[in-house]
Every structure is written in C-alpha cells, then in structure tokens.
Amino acid sequence: MRHARRRIVRRVTRLAAVGGLLLGGAMVTQAAMASQTPPAAGRTLSSAAGAGDTGGALVARLGTARTAGDWIGADGRPVVAVTDEATAREVRRAGAEAKVVAHSMNELKSATAALRSAPRVAGTAWAVDYRTNRVVVSADSTVSAGDWSRMSRVAAQIGSFVRMRRTTGTFTTRLNGAQPILSTGGRCSAGFNVTDGRSDFILTAGHCGPSGSTWFADNQGDQQLGRTVSSTFPGNDFSLVQYASGKAGDGADVVAIGGGNGVRITGAADAAVGQRVFRSGSTSGLHDGTVTALNATVNYPEGTVTGLVQTNVCAEPGDSGGPLFSDGIALGVTSGGSGDCTKGGTTFFQPVTRAMTALNVKLIVAAQNAGGGSSSASPAPSTSAAQGAVTPSAASPGSSAPVTGAPGQTLLARLTDTRNVGPGLLVIAGSLIALVATRYIRAERDRKAYQRYYSATWG
C-alpha cells in the first residue's frame, strides 16, 4: 500500500513537472513576442496623402481668400471650407469634401489681429473654429464683469462671426508628463527627445523654467538629468534641456504612457482639426481627445502665447511639457489650459514642428535608433473619440514599446513582471528541478532495493 502511494506521488510530480515545462515555454514565447515591436517604416512628411491632395494642400493651393481652413470629418475624409461654389467644385474634384461658408480665412485672421491689438486681458483665449466659420473668444472665471463687457464690445465691432463664451476654471500653465522632471523651480514633464547632431536634448515647455535651470529625475536631487540651455516664454512655449551625459540613451524614441509601457515615435507633423490625439503626463496619465482649433492665442497670467493647438484633452498641474501625439507621430508639448481630468477641460499645446524649426533640432525617432537615417511621418486621419482616461492596453496611440530606464525598478520586480520572460524561465527551472529530483529519488530507491535483494540472495 505504501509503495503504491509512493508511485502515485512520483507519477503526479512528473506530470506536474512536464506541465510546468510546457507552461513555462508558452510564457517565455508569449513574453518574447509581446516585447517585439514591428520595425518602424520610414515615411516622409508630405502635404499630399496618396494620390489625392489633403485639406491642407488644397488650402495652400487655393489661397486664404477663397478658403477658410480644413479639418478631418467624422468619416476620416478631409473637409475644406470655401467661400464660393466654383472653389467647392475644385475641392470635390480633388477628392475632398467642401463646405461653403460666409467668411474667408483672411477675414477670420483680421478678426484675431483686432483682438490682439485690443488691451490684453489675462484669462482670455481665442481661436478660429473652422467648422462653424467663427472666431471663438473664451473667458475664464478670473475675468471680471468689466473686462468681459469691454471684450464683448471689441467683438461686436469686429463682426457677428466673433462669438464670446465663458468657461469654467482658469487658464493656467500646467507647471508641476510622460516622465517627471524636477528642479528648484517646480515639476514638469519630459516631452520628446531631440538632437542637433552633436548633443541630445529634452524638448519641453518653456514656462517650466528659464535658461540655466537644472533638472533631476528624483526628488532627492541624486539623478541629474541636465540643464535648460534655451527657453522661450511667453510668445511661444518651448525649451531645451541638454542631457548631462550628452546623450538620451536607450529608448530615446519612446514616450511613456504608464504601467511601464510606451509608444514609439516615428516622426513629427502638424496637427489637424478633428484629429484624434493622445496626451501623456505623469500627473494624470494617458488621455485622449480631438483637436478643436489651430493657431490659438492664450492670455496666461504670465503672458500671451500664440500659435497653439487647442484640444478637448484634459490635463492637470504637473503635465506641462508632456507629449501630444497620434499614431506615433509627435504633434506638440503641453502648454496649459483649464479644467481637470475629472470634469474635463481645454488644453493647449506648443506645436513641435514650430519649436524644432526655431531651435534647429530634429526629433530622435525609431529609424535613427535602428541605424537608419532621420525620418518623419504624417499622421493618419482618425475619427473623433470621446475624451477620457485611456488604459495603455486599450489605447492605439502608436506602436507599443517598453519604457527603459524607469527609476526604482529592481531586478526582482523585472523578473516577477508578467510582461517579461522572467516568470516563464522560473517555471521552467522549477519544473526541471522537480523532474531531476524525481528521477534521482527513483534511482536511489531502485539502488537500495537491489542492494537488499543482493544481500538476501548472496549473504
């Protein structure tokens, strides 16, 4: 009876060990496949999408006297606002949708110029709404009744296509993103890694700190990242933080989206109205929304910034400088806005193309890390989506990639992380030990049984 129980135990142990080997092998294979990122194909920025002109190319060709902006429709097709039917027919022949409006872009730009020339009121912002053919002036809760009345009179003098509206919250810079960077002046977020060919830099918001600011990766000031070597704010809102080592290191083409995950950046482009976009920040994580306007002007308490991308993506203090992207294409860095990620709000972004041109730097993208040349890409149009928090596993902001160099991650944490091959290797090792042990125990028992038999026979 006792021998029967031993045989059963050994048999169960062997079966469990074999099962463990199969399971461990499957875990290692799955982890290895998950960690592989498809190679990023180099694509070139172009004003045309395939054989047909995009909305932006049509606007450039037809001129601002005959058009009033373009945007991405709900079906993903470009829509161009035009001032007459003849221009509308040209747009339709080019494969885009046309919408006839009353005011040209020249008239809309003239309205924004009149607003800029009026006395500055902190807490106000304006942008051209291409889809409604209006200039929308927003005033936050800090704008007094007297200033509201004065701004309303200026708007009335310009024309009925200038719309005034009140917003909740206040327009503020988001000082305090993807990975946090800290200095004595406050906390911001790293945006994108860029290079001038000799040194690497972090492109982030200009209001985060003046030139000479020293940045760290931890609260204790032990991990120095670098120093701000160029900063522009107000007017624009961008700055360069030069890495202390001179190089960004591994994963320079990846922006963090939370949970140890990241998105591989393959190029840079200008945002389009109606485009679905993602913003990542260390305070509020990954959120998505749509671009609602371009060339927005915001009168922060610290000064006025122009040429911003306006979105309905939320942001909170600490998200400043964090990346705005879509389908792995860099679009902007977080400047400021109103509201929060509980109630929603408006967030403005400094376009990366404008910042990189002014700073004479290029984006560090996947093709460069792979040994290829510098490449950039144009954003794929996508339909609008409701604003909200996005879990990294549910989002499609671009090709996924692991975030490297995350502070505080120990070897034990990496081995026990189910995203890595460590757990599978541990299961395989345990199964092998169990198999060897059962074989050894069986061999020892057979040897002792033979000794007893031999002694009884020949003793």
DSSP state for residue 207 in the 8-state scheme: G
Which helix (H) or strand (E) segment holds residue 336: the answer is strand 329-340
Amino acid (one-letter) located at 69: G
Q: How many CA atoms lie within 13 A of 334 on its CB side?
A: 41
Catalytic annotation present for 3: no
Please write down the HEC assignment for all residues of 128-160. EECCCCEEEEEECCCCCHHHHHHHHHHHHHHCC
Q: Looking up tokens 């490297």, which residue turns up?
A: 404
Catalytic annotation present for 319: no
Catalytic residue among 320, 338, 376, 378: 320
CA–CA dist 264, 267 (Å, integer) = 10
Residue 11 vs residues 257, 427, 434: alpha-carbon distances, Å: 47, 19, 12
Catalytic residue among 129, 200, 237, 319: 237
Q: Which of 346, 333, 338 is nearest to 123 (CA)?
A: 338
Catalytic annotation present for 287: no
Q: Are 192 and 323 in contact (CB under 8 A)?
A: yes
Catalytic residue among 104, 138, 207, 326: 207
Rg of the chain taking only CA atoms, in angstroms:
30
User: Which residues are annotated as catalytic?
Assistant: 207, 237, 320
